[in-house]
Structure 1
Amino acid sequence: MPATPRIGRNEPGTWTASLWSQIAPIYAAILDHPFIGGLTDGSLPADVFAGYVAQDVHYLRTYSRALAGVAAKAPTLADTAMFSRHAAEVFDVELSLHSELLPALGLSADAVDAASVAPTTMAYNSYLLATVYGGSFADGLAAVLPCYWIYAEVGAELLTRGSTDARYQRWIDSYGGDEFAATVSEVLALADRIGPGLAAADESAARAHFVTTSRYEWMFFDAAYRQESWPV
């Protein structure tokens, strides 16, 4: 695992470098998770990956709304345009990936729609929306950032490993590619512009949201691996 993230400026003293240093153990735990290892060596059961994709569809529908909320509170018109574009790209790009993966996994769109939203998915979605719509722009930015950044970092790392399964390689290529890295770099640059100007209490609150949703990223992979369902 690289000592520093591959995406972004990676310069000591920047706000994002400070944020990453706080979640480095979480990221390491994600890379060590058997879900991630199973993507590269092909040992991840197809039904587990199919369940993950179904939950990811439910998550991304909420994430797109969260990005729209961040866009509405953005400090400049250019920032609003960027997040609005990213919200649209969730549908245009990421859900198109699912449209390719679903048939390969024997899933239909109707089956995904009928699938129950798992507890971790619902909790993560609820936290995102509550933070974005109830908090400041910095709160929302910090809350949505881990999904951008961690996926780009995981994708970049897994590109170096490859996969023995063409379906998993397709997923890796999507998140490890230059286009997604460029999108994430835009958001990191904005974070480094906003973070240093925050009052101490506001910075602490935003940082806490960043750490929390980073934990949710680990929990999301873990819930998929365990094929989590409602206990009662």
Structure 2
Amino acid sequence: MSLRRFTDELWSDIEPIYAEILEHPFLRGLTDGSLPRTAFRHFVEQDSLYLRDYARALALCGARAPETESVQAFLSDAAGAIAAEQEMLAGFGEELGEEPLSQEVLPTTRAYTSYLLAAAYGGSYAEAVAAVLPCYWIYARVGEQLLAKSSPDPLYARWIAVYGDESFQEIVRRVVALTDELAEQVSPAERQRMRERFTVASRYEWMFWNAAWIGERWPV
């Protein structure tokens, strides 16, 4: 009988959050093609800005990693996040109108990236990895779910294909395995902090899609 992994516990913690993500009207609109272009544009704008700081958080994980393999992997992922940001601006941006995409970092994006960078700078290495894991793992799971449905809208179908791709899934499996390894090396108190980091970042994932759906702006 297989032993329960630490990441099994992490996922169990966020099952209700993940269920809410899958049922969110933003994701339903992606798959049935009904999502307003304004909501998708909001998402693309903020995601491109989010990825810049997410790349910084990944680079910090790499800088703190004790083994060369993880240093290389996180730095490669950081470079990949920057490349994704540039590709998103060049690709999706062209299809969303002639007006340049906004460079204003809105509340949820600011809060989420600030949380990740605080974890990467101020938490332990294990906490930092737990904090960045939801962006990998939830997108991989969402990609798998949405890929089975795709979308009648070619633009949305192309976005779905990125996160359902097997090469991305393989990257996620590597970070999940690393998280399990780290959990074996730290104290119970630190494992609890890892769980808290993971859960909070998962809540921000829901908030990020919701922000695009409601057209979030600074209130004042």
TM-score, normalisation: structure 1: 0.91
Runs of 4 or more consecutive aligned structure 1 residues displaced over 6 Å after TM superposition: none
* Counterpart position of 1:228: 216
Pairing of 1:182-221 with structure 2 (within 5 A): 182-221=170-209
Match 2:95 to one of 104, 107, 127 = 104
Q: Give the length in aligned residue pairs.
A: 219
Pairing of 1:1-232 with structure 2 (within 5 A): 13-106=4-97, 111-112=100-101, 114-232=102-220
**Unmatched runs of 5 consecutive residues or more in structure 1:** 1-10
- Do 2:26 and 2:213's aligned partners in 1 also have CA atoms closer than 8 Å? yes
Give the superposition deviation at 1:196. Answer: 2.1
- Do 2:52 and 2:85's aligned partners in 1 also have CA atoms closer than 8 Å? no
2:104 is paired with a residue of what secondary structure? coil
TM-score, normalisation: structure 2: 0.96
Residues in 1 aligned to 2:109 and 2:87: alpha-carbon distance in whole angstroms: 20
* Counterpart position of 1:6: none
Give the superposition deviation at 1:15. Answer: 1.0
In structure 2, the CA distance between the partners of 1:166 and 1:221, relative to structure 1 (3 Å rule), is same
In structure 2, the CA distance between the partners of 1:50 and 1:77, relative to structure 1 (3 Å rule), is same
Give the superposition deviation at 1:12. Answer: 5.2
Residues in 2 aligned to 1:36 and 1:81: alpha-carbon distance in whole angstroms: 33
Residues in 2 aligned to 1:100 and 1:180: alpha-carbon distance in whole angstroms: 19
* Equivalent AA in structure 1 for residue 61 of structure 2: V
Residues in 1 aligned to 2:114 and 2:11: alpha-carbon distance in whole angstroms: 24
Residues in 2 aligned to 1:14 and 1:139: alpha-carbon distance in whole angstroms: 17
- Do 2:119 and 2:127's aligned partners in 1 also have CA atoms closer than 8 Å? yes
Give the superposition deviation at 1:200. Answer: 0.8
RMSD over aligned Cα atoms: 1.3
Q: Deviations over 1:41-88 (max 9, x none)?
A: 011001110111000011000000000001111121111111001001
* Equivalent AA in structure 2 for residue 55 of structure 1: Q
Q: Deviations over 1:70-126 (max 9, x none)?
A: 111112111111100100111224531442111111155xx33x4321101000011
**Unmatched runs of 5 consecutive residues or more in structure 2:** none
* Counterpart position of 1:4: none
Residues in 2 aligned to 1:107 and 1:52: alpha-carbon distance in whole angstroms: 17
- Do 1:50 and 1:107's aligned partners in 2 also have CA atoms closer than 8 Å? no
* Equivalent AA in structure 2 for residue 32 of structure 1: E
